[in-house]
Copies of this chain bind each other. A is one copy, B any other.
Amino acid sequence: MAVTLGDVARHAGVSLATASRVLNGSARTVTDELSARVRSSARELGYLPNAPAQALARASSATIGVLLHDVADPYFGTIARAVWDASSQAGLLSLVASTDADPERELHAVRMLHAQRVRAIVLAGSAYTDPAAAGPIDEALAGYRAQGGVVTAITDHGSGYDTVSPANRAGAAELVRALLGMGHRRFAVVGGPGRLRVAQERLAGVRDALAEAGLTLPQECLFEADFSREGGRSAAAGLLDGHPGELLPTAVLALSDILAVGVLAEFRDRGIDVPGRVSVAGFDDVPLAADLAPPLTTVRMPLELMGREAVRLALAAAPGAAPQVVALPLEVVLRASTAAPARP
């Protein structure tokens, strides 16, 4: 049914080898005349290479795998978009896998991508702090690399991968310093799940800056939630219920924008004025952060750059080279969701 390379070769009156050399990029040269004949036959017959066959013969397919927590989350969506742009420019198709930050699913996804013989795997999600979760995944990835696969990570995974490393910790500290500068002293933090390394890094940054100011974060002001709108919402509810009236901290740090969205929603529903009563800040500077009610103060992550760089590292990866690390500074973006506290 399909037109094969053999059909093209026959039509052009050349061997399979020659046709392959002309159409599917080879080091070997072919004379212009034959080359032209093959090309025109291919066009005439509507030849489309069989990618699986190519992948089998070459022991590597023209695809790149992207592992992330949730494509529908704008943080990952933006990264996925950049990865697609960069890799499609290199002629690669992207296999995107959403794992919901579930190590089990992530392991399964790694196996699937390995089975597909993708050329590279981009770990766009956070690393896991629990060795029991991270171990099997790293093992599977090691097996993949042993067979020539390339792995690059976005955010630190610490397993010898080429890495795009945004300064989560320093960025969080910078954000806190900005709020301290406005006069805030009593903070609440809605952090991500502790099993995610990124969540821990950001929290550590918050503590760094608080410590510099001689402050600590009281246990009852730290809330742990999934990186989701609902997570932020219920954390905010918990915060309000536990801190009635004047006890409410003056600033709430949601350590991801999506979390901040939930916090803002809960505050809105409960009639808590932001930033009049309490300031709210996020983290990521996701595309819509500036359009929320009110526009969100946050820490800008260069999401597109991160995706692009991850692909660049993956494609540039040399066989035995030392792991590359691209460090990316982060920048605090002040918007209307934060202001000086009314009551100091």
Binding site for B on A (CB under 8 A): 1-2, 46, 48-53, 55-56, 61, 63, 70-74, 77-78, 80-81, 84-85, 88, 93-98, 111-117, 143, 146-148, 229, 261, 264-265, 287-288, 290-295
Q: Residues of B contacting A292 with CB < 8 Å? A: 288, 291-293
6 A-B contact pairs sorted by A residue (CB < 8 Å): A48-B115, A50-B56, A52-B117, A84-B98, A94-B96, A229-B287
Bound-state CA distance A264–B85 (Å) is 29
Task: Name the 6 nearest CB pairs between A and B, nearest first.
Answer: A293-B293, A52-B55, A72-B81, A77-B77, A52-B52, A72-B77
Inter-chain CA distance A1–B116, complex, in Å, is 16
Query: Quick one: copies of this chain in the complex?
Result: 2
Question: Does B95 lie within 8 Å of A95, measured CB to CB?
Answer: yes
B295 engages A115 (CB within 8 Å):
no
Query: Which chain B residues border A56 with CB–CB below 8 Å?
Result: 50, 52-53, 56
Q: By the criterion CB–CB under 8 Å, are A72 and B63 in contact? A: no
User: Is there contact, CB below 8 Å, between B117 and A51?
Assistant: yes
Give the one of A84, A96, A291 with max B CB within 10 A.
A291
| Cβ-defined partner of A48 (8 Å) among B48, B111, B293, B295 | B111
CB-defined contacts of A113 to chain B, threshold 8 Å: 93
Instruction: Determine if A51 and B81 form an interchain contact, defined as CB atoms under 8 angstroms apart.
Output: no
Residues of B close to A295: CB separation below 8 A: 293
Residues of chain B within 8 A (CB-CB) of A81 are 70-72, 98
A230 to chain B, nearest CB (A): 11
Q: Which residue of B lies closest to A112 (CB)?
A: B93
Please, which residues of chain B bring their CB within 8 A of the CB of A95? 63, 93-96
Q: What residue of chain B has the Cβ atom nearest to residue A58's Cβ?
A: B52
Q: How far is the CB of A136 from chain B (nearest CB, A)?
A: 12
Distance in angstroms from A293 CB to nearest chain B CB is 3
**Roughly how many angstroms separate A246 CA and B117 CA in the complex, as a whole number?**
63
Nearest-CB distance from A119 to chain B (Å)? 12
Measured between C-beta atoms, what is the minimum distance from A86 to chain B in Å?
Answer: 12
Decide: A116 near B46, CB < 8 A? Known: A56-B56, A85-B98, A95-B95: no
Query: For residue A290, which residues in chain B have a CB less than 8 angstroms away from its CB?
Result: 265
Please measure, in the bound complex, the distance between the C-alpha atom of A292 and the C-alpha atom of B88, giving whole angstroms: 33
Closest CB-CB distance, A28 to chain B, in whole Å? 22
How far does the Cβ of A269 sit from chain B's closest Cβ, in whole Å? 11
With A52-B61, A294-B293, A295-B293 known as contacts, the answer to whether A93 contacts B116 (CB < 8 A) is yes
Interfacial chain B residues near A2, Cβ < 8 Å? 147
* Complex CA–CA separation, A293 to B55 (angstroms): 49
User: In the complex, what distance in Å separates the CA atom of A116 from the CA atom of B51?
Assistant: 5
Contacts of A49 in B (CB 8 A): 115
